[in-house]
Structure 1
Amino acid sequence: MTEHSRLRWLRLAVIVMIAALFFLPLWWMAVSAMRPGDAIFRYLSPLSPWSFLPREWTAEHMLGIWQGSFGRAIFNSIFVTLVTVIGGLAVCSTAAFALAVIDFPFRKSVFFVMVISFLIPFDAIAVPLYGIMRLLDLQNTYTGLILPGIGNGLAVFLLRQFFIGIPKDLREAAFVDGMGWFGIFWRIYLPLSGPAMLSAALILFVFQWQAYLWPLLIAPSPEYKVAAVAIAQFSNEYQANFGLIFAASLVISIIPMVVLTILQRYYSTSVASTGGKE
């Protein structure tokens, strides 16, 4: 075996080990969801093969999570996330188009403020934002859940960088043909920005699907509770049903994992093409 081959196999081994370390918590959660309740933590100390391979299998927890309001919470999460992605793409793509193409006063200042906005942790603005939503009477509504996720600064930044890379000659030719700004955006820029739009959709999807603090603040009612918040219903101040918690956590982890796995190559393609300069 040559030196090059040995280095390649060594790199592969390191990659596999790192991937296994990332996958291990998810595997343990899945195994715990399939174990009887009294066996979930039985084999943790000391560690043994049975810590990650259950001796007994049961579907009790996976079936049990659907007997309460968790099914409604999953529907709420899917609905809120889907509307956020659709509405967010409409808002973020038009904002990115304006910042990349249209020359208006203080354009660079607006872009700078937008970049700063997505660097601020959402937790820092959650309470003031809750006050605004309360004044607008948007507590316990789908609108209150969806609105903060539509304007995503990172998605705008990604789309803007992609739009900058589209040749100016295309829009100048469109102007000559009598096309307006909306026509240029709809007929030229959007058809060319498929990978970037998918990447922005992934950003909006992940942001909304994993949201916990904001849904907890704005929609505590069981009718509007999302899945990430509904997991808390399986525990109280006296006890926690860890089997149901692990089963519910597994369900809400599988959905984004499948979506990201299917669309990850489009995300990589878009990121590789967002290095345009003005």
Structure 2
Amino acid sequence: MASETLNERSRRTGRRALFLAVPIALLSIAPLVWALISSLRPGEDIFRFLYPISWETFIPSRITFDNFTTVLTGPFGMALWNSVFVTAVSVVVGLALASLAAFALACMDFPGRSFIFAFLVICFLVPFEAIAIPLSTTFRDLGLANTYTGLILPALGNGLAIFLLRQFFMGVPSSLAEAARMDGLGWFGIFWRIYLPLSKGPMIGAGLILFVFQWQSFLWPLLIAPAPDVRLAPVAIADFAQETGVNYGQMFAAAILTAAIPLLLVLFFQRHFSGSNANSGSKE
């Protein structure tokens, strides 16, 4: 009887949580849904049904893909490709550097290790906007303006990714490394054959952090790479607002395309991202 009462209470609590969560979720995604629908409307229909709100606000009476076609075949298509390339290189190289740095800080004992880790933590707590302008001046003096290298370099040293990977590596049983050392493996062999295979979930999580930081970057690409041939998607979206007016249909289409790529990646890697060090191979 008590068990049935407990089950009834749990179901009642679940229904209340659901009734509260569904409206909040709908309100959260409503702007994104409206932007998607607006990108499929002709220009004259975008604000036509905005007030008063009716079913036509979210269900278009006329659908066109002209906005997406124009956006992809215009300068924004090149900007989107630039974002994909720059972000992919940033994630691959940045993840390699972050994992090696995290392994060294977690497993190797050397003078100044604690100081270096504290310095990294302080660095990623400093807003990038605070150093973006002087850093862009330095990059211009080095001839890195309007280059892929200039866009990629600041994204490689991500302190948050190093911090997360270090915390995971510290949770791996040290007996695994000791056994590998007895078998003749060096530090890189231990990292490559033991720590790296165990860190699939944290590596994907760190990779997603690197991806999001680079993909959504606006100020740095605006400062260091304003040229059309190296312009990135977030900067190119702003180009749809001209002095003569704003092309909202194309702007919404560009925004949806820019948001779709990280959304698909997060959905694809969600189960890996939520994983932790539950399967570390050994427990102490």
Equivalents in 2 of 1:2, 1:180: separation in Å?
58
What is the match of residue 209 of structure 2? 203
CA RMSD of aligned residues (A): 1.7
Aligned to 2:229: 223
CA contact (8 A) 1:206 1:256 kept: yes
Question: Within the alignment, does 1:234 sit opposite 2:243 as a pair?
Answer: no
Question: Is residue 61 of structure 2 the alignment partner of residue 60 of structure 1?
Answer: no
The answer as to whether partners of 2:199 and 2:277 remain within 8 angstroms in 1 is no
Hey, which bits of structure 1, 4+ residues long, moved more than 6 A? 271-274
Matches for 1:254-269 after TM superposition, within 5 Å: 254-269=260-275
Amino acid of the residue matched to residue 87 of structure 1?
V
Question: Counterpart of 2:185?
Answer: 179
Shift of 1:178: 1.9
2:250 alignment counterpart: 244
Tell me, in whole angstroms, the C-alpha distance in 2 between the residues paired with 1:113 and 1:16: 43
- In structure 2, distance between residues paired with 1:263 and 1:51: 33
SS in 1 for 2:275: helix
What is the percent sequence identity of the aligned residues? Answer: 53
| Displacement of 1:260 | 0.4
Give runs of aligned pairs for residues 153-172 of structure 1, distance below 5 A: 153-172=159-178
Over 3 Å counting, the alpha-carbon distance change for 1:248 and 1:166 in structure 2 is same
Contact 1:162 1:273 in 2 (8 A): no
TM-score, normalising length from structure 2? 0.92
1:97 to 88, 98, 103: 103
Q: Is the 8 A contact 2:198 2:279 kept in 1?
A: no
Could you tell me how far apart the structure 1 residues matched to 2:218 and 2:244 are?
A: 23
2:78 matched residue in structure 1: 72
Q: CA deviation at 1:184?
A: 1.0
**C-alpha deviations, 1:234-277, integer Å up to 9, x for none?**
22122110000000101011111010011122111138899xxx
For these two proteins, the number of residue pairs brought into alignment is: 274
Q: Deviations over 1:104-146 (max 9, x none)?
A: 1121121111111111111111112112211211001100000
Contact 1:199–1:270 (CA under 8 A) maintained in structure 2: no
Letter in 2 for 1:49: W
Report whether the alignment pairs 1:270 with 2:276: yes
**Contact 2:151/2:225 (8 A) holds in 1:** yes
Cα distance in 2 between the residues matched to 1:124 and 1:104: 32
Q: CA deviation at 1:153?
A: 0.7
Matching residue of 1:149: 155
In the TM superposition, residue 3 of structure 1 has moved relative to its aligned partner by: 3.2
Matched residue type, 1:48: S
**1:212 corresponding residue in structure 2:** 218
**Residues of 2 paired with 1:247 and 1:241: CA distance?**
10
Q: In structure 1, what is the equivalent of residue 146 of structure 2?
A: 140
Change (3 A) 1:67 1:178: closer
Structure 1 unaligned spans of 5+: none
Distance 1:174 1:183 in 2: 8
2:28 aligned residue: 22
Distance in 1 of aligned mates of 2:186 and 2:8:
61
Distance in 2 between residues matched to 1:134 and 1:102, nearest whole Å? 37
Q: Which residue of 1 aligns with 2:199?
A: 193
